[in-house]
Amino acid sequence: MSQAPPTLSATYASPTSSPFTITQPIPASTDVTSNNPAAYLSSLRTAAASVQDDINKELTRRMEEDKAREAGSATGGVSIDEAKEEENYGEEVVEDDEEN
């Protein structure tokens, strides 16, 4: 009977958003019962860093969605030109009013 390869999993839960789980396999060549615990710990460290990176990407994506949703409702559905906002950051912008 073959054992399933070891994995590292993390589940994120929040009262305001849907939970998600990230799972990263740990290479089967490094077994906790092997004679080389340093190799197993190294693989585990690599898997943990990968899981953390994936969690950060997912949370960043969700934050950007929230910001876009809030900006849309705050501006009455009018989109904001992020590039223009960034270009003019910290400066007073006087818009030219053309009169006919």
Q: What is the reported pLDDT for 96?
A: 63
The answer to whether the Cα torsion of 55, 58, 63, 64 is positive or negative is positive
Q: What is the reported pLDDT for 36?
A: 77
Domain boundaries, the chain: 7-86
Q: Strands of the chain (E only): list them.
A: 7-12, 20-25
Q: What is the reported pLDDT for 27?
A: 74
- Model-level pTM greater than 0.85? no
Question: Average pLDDT of each block of 10 consecutive residues along the chain (100 residues)?
Answer: 78 89 80 71 90 94 89 64 69 61
Q: What is the reported pLDDT for 6?
A: 84
Question: SS3 of 8, please?
Answer: strand
